[in-house]
Amino acid sequence: MMVVIPARYASTRLPGKPLLDIAGKPMIERVYQQACQSRAARVLIATDDQRIFSACQRFGAEVLLTSDAHHSGTERLAEVARLLALPDDEIIVNVQGDEPLIPPELIDQVADNLQKNTAASIATLAEPIENVEQLFNPNCVKVSLDAKNFALTFSRAPLPWPRDAFAKSREHLPEDRRWWRHIGIYAYRAKFLQDFTYWGSCELEQCEQLEQLRALWHGAKIHVAQALVSPPSGIDTLEDLQKMRQLLEAA
């Protein structure tokens, strides 16, 4: 198993996000250090920017300069697999470059789950939704599962919709049902990454802006397990960044 951390400089809300300082270290270094605590045999950062490339070299990470034409981190992973000529069955875990406190055990968990579930092309994680505010928040991605914990669909909408309960009130979650929040960590096999890129974006993916729907659209299976621990939030906004700085500076 290897970890690839995609890192791009161009971020709409936080330009240069991977290089932003958090308690004396760039964000990407903190993500890398967390990934190195997993059981991964290799941890690599894939970037399209020379500034990020140089910063990673300075703190001793293995880093690869990739195309600036990719539309997603998954496409960047596919290029890494091609450039390194990885074996078709090599398991690659995609760790987001904006999660400086990603628990290493989640990296191991998602890789192990893909190894065990040979029918799956992707493995990912989820955790229970705790309140109705989360359920109705479009930034909280919901995943619906079948009886064997394979994903039926992902959506920003509150799915499944409890028709009878919400006809009476939408102030609280019904007690007889569980919803799942998707956690954005993925394990793939190297061969599948090439298929995924070849397919290109699909209608459902474009509608929801969720690229994992491309896999389901083409009939691939995604295994979903409950995360062993709840991961801290990633960094998407300046407010997120300030909270993370305060947390790590106080540690």
Domains and CATH numbers, the chain: 2-245 (3.90.550.10)
Alpha-carbon gap, residue 155 to 139, rounded angstroms: 10
Banded model confidence at residue 248, pLDDT cuts 50, 70, 90? confident
Residue 216: the pLDDT is 96
Q: Among positive and negative, which fits the CA dihedral 57, 61, 67, 70?
A: negative
Mean pLDDT of 186-210: 93
User: What does pTM read for this prediction?
Assistant: 0.93
Residue 153: the pLDDT is 97
| SS3 assignment, position 62 | strand
- Nearest-Å Rg of the Cα atoms of the chain is 18
Mean pLDDT of 217-233: 95
Tell me: the pLDDT tens digits for 134-145?
999 998 999 999
Tell me: the pLDDT tens digits for 4-26?
999 988 777 788 899 999 999 99
Mean pLDDT of 59-85: 91
User: What backbone torsions phi and psi does residue 110 show, to the nearest 5 degrees?
Assistant: -70, -35
Residue 187: the pLDDT is 98
Banded model confidence at residue 237, pLDDT cuts 50, 70, 90? confident
Banded model confidence at residue 125, pLDDT cuts 50, 70, 90? very high
Of the CA atoms within 13 Å of residue 251, those in its CB half-sphere come to: 10
Higher per-residue pLDDT: 232 or 218: 218
Tell me: the pLDDT tens digits for 94-104?
999 899 999 99
Task: Name 182's bridge partners.
Answer: 126
Distances (CA, A) of 164 to 64, 128, 161, 167, 175: 53, 21, 9, 5, 13
Residue 30: the pLDDT is 96
